[in-house]
Amino acid sequence: MKVSYHGHSIVKVETKGKTILFDPFITGNSQTDLKVENEHPDYIILTHGHGDHVGDTVELAKKSGALVIANNEIANYLSWQGINTHPMHIGGSFEFEFGKVKLTPAFHGSALITENKEIIYLGMPTGVLLMVEGKTIYHAGDTGLFSDMKLIGERHPIDLAFLPIGDNFTMGPEDAAIAAKFCQAKVVVPIHYNTFPPIKQDPQVFIDLLEKNNGKIMSAGDSMNL
């Protein structure tokens, strides 16, 4: 299984001949190496409804026929636009052809803000546990620190965790380091930083705070085999 990072919160997992893309915010993302025209995912997983996470989902899904996996509100909203979706919600899991997906809590918001100054509520934000090829990947989405991260790690031993460190909208480096301790992942990768001025961070600060020396900074396009 190949796992790659592509700036902000974009994570790509290639397994069993399928490509899974998390939070494909490509257009307008100064940190990504991806181009919409080059991406043909089989599945798209969304953590919540903010524009910097839903991103190019509609265009990508219409072009590739990807199945979009998201909370019930996002899935329904996108299905009205002709997108194939699979609705889920926090605490629920489902076995797909590539493996199992389980949604976890995340403490954040989830809404689409339109050009007409409308706010469309899109359900609760989530984290995602992806269980593939005997490995578990935790994409925390956008979230603050919460103590039930301990329970997530106890229930599902995590091989690789992607944790936001940008502060302002999510955890900062200090809280993210505690989150890493809570979830007990074997490898921890910082995400959701430096895309916009309010979330400018030095990821090395986060790495240096980790007690288990298990952090890995990934630049856009970097990958690892899991």
Which is nearest to 7 in space by CA: 205, 215, 219? 219
At residue 61, the pLDDT reads 98
At residue 209, the pLDDT reads 97
At residue 79, the pLDDT reads 97
Residues facing 164 on adjacent strands = 191
- Domain 2-218, CATH class in plain words: alpha beta
At residue 193, the pLDDT reads 98
Domain ranges of the chain: 2-218
At residue 175, the pLDDT reads 98
At residue 115, the pLDDT reads 87
Express each pLDDT in 106-118 by its tens digit.
Answer: 999 999 988 899 9
At residue 224, the pLDDT reads 97
Residue segments in the chain with a per-residue pLDDT below the cut of 50: none
Phi and psi based region of residue 16 (left: phi greater than 0; alpha: psi -120 to 50; beta: remaining): left
Contact 68, 86 (CB under 8 A): yes
Phi and psi based region of residue 116 (left: phi greater than 0; alpha: psi -120 to 50; beta: remaining): alpha
